[in-house]
Chain A
Amino acid sequence: MTTPGGDGVPIASNDDVVRVRQLVRAAAAAAGMSLVDQTKIVTAASELARNTFVHGGGGSARVESVVNARGRAGVRLVFTDSGGGIPDVAQALTEGWTSGGGLGLGLPGARRLADEFELETEVGRGTTVTVTKWTR
């Protein structure tokens, strides 16, 4: 399942963050993930969607169903914004460091909850975070 439109669903409000969580939940259940793994990927999605909205000034989320070479199903999430980008990636991935009023668990937490994590960012151009979780 890929979310319709190709570009994904917009993240332009707090309601959209909730909507993304629901989409990810449905995709994770469809992939046959355990309840714990569903909860982990939905929580990661919540952190990343909030980052996209709060730090990236809004953007979009793409929810994809994927299958790896060994036939294992999974869910891949791509969060994109065209905000200010992250000047210091190492710092942003450090636990407890926060640029806003959060706990500094958003990015490092999402990385831990997913199986694969990829971060592309350019100052002044925006940020794309891709996470994947596979069924066990």
Chain B
Amino acid sequence: MERVPILKIGQVLLVSIQVDLQDQTVLALQEDLADRIVRTGARGVIIDITAVDIVDSFIGRMFATIASMSRLMDAETVVVGMRPAVAITLVELGLSLGGVRTALDLEKGMRLLGAPLPTIGSGAVDGP
């Protein structure tokens, strides 16, 4: 079974899913995340699904579970990068992902969490 790596950027934990998710991987991720939130005191979790080509009801439930679990530990969850075809399919499947915050991409997700965006080099200006 593959494990999904969890990266820490400031107060935010970033999970970028790059593998075909099987159920055991999903369950392990929930546990790993809960553990990391407690150990790091992270205030936010971003789940990047840019590379995920399907979200079925099991994976969708995982997002909802992670969101409520992290909320109990004082961290907000944002799911970012959902592909259009995945969004269309989820709606038809009848999965609303209620309670899960979403953003179009990683940058917008970071903003939503109020996390400072990194600036590279001196004098780099990052928009308004």
A interface residues, Cβ below 8 angstroms from B = 14-15, 17-18, 21-22, 25, 35-36, 38-40, 42-43, 46-47, 50, 95, 102-103, 105-106, 108-109, 112-113
Contacts and interface: CB of A to CB of B under 8 A. Distances in A.
Contacts of A46: 54, 56, 58
Sorted nearest first, the 8 A-B pairs with minimum C-beta distance are A39-B85, A105-B57, A46-B56, A14-B22, A109-B93, A36-B85, A18-B20, A103-B57
A15 B22 contact: yes
B94 A14 contact: no
14 contacts: A14-B23, A14-B24, A17-B22, A17-B23, A35-B85, A36-B84, A39-B89, A43-B93, A102-B57, A102-B61, A108-B94, A112-B92, A112-B94, A113-B89
A14 B22 CA distance: 6
- Which of the four size classes fits the interface of chain B? 20 to 34
Contacts of B20: 18, 21-22
Interface string B91-110: 01111000000000000000
A72 to B, nearest CB: 20
Interface of B: 1, 20-24, 53-58, 60-61, 83-86, 88-89, 92-95
A113 B93 contact: yes
B64 to A, nearest CB: 9
A21 B22 CA distance: 10
Given A43-B56, A105-B57, 11 more contacts: A14-B23, A17-B22, A35-B85, A39-B53, A39-B54, A39-B85, A39-B86, A43-B54, A50-B56, A113-B89, A113-B92
A103 B54 contact: no
Contact of A50 (B1, B53, B58, B95): B58
A133 B12 CA distance: 41
Contacts of B57: 47, 102-103, 105-106, 109
A86 B20 CA distance: 29
B23 A50 contact: yes
Which of B23, B60, B86 counts the most A-chain CB atoms under 10 A from its CB? B23
Nearest to B86: A39
B54 A112 contact: no
Contacts of A103: 57, 60-61, 95
Contacts of A108: 94
B54 A105 contact: no
A93 to B, nearest CB: 12
Contacts of B84: 36
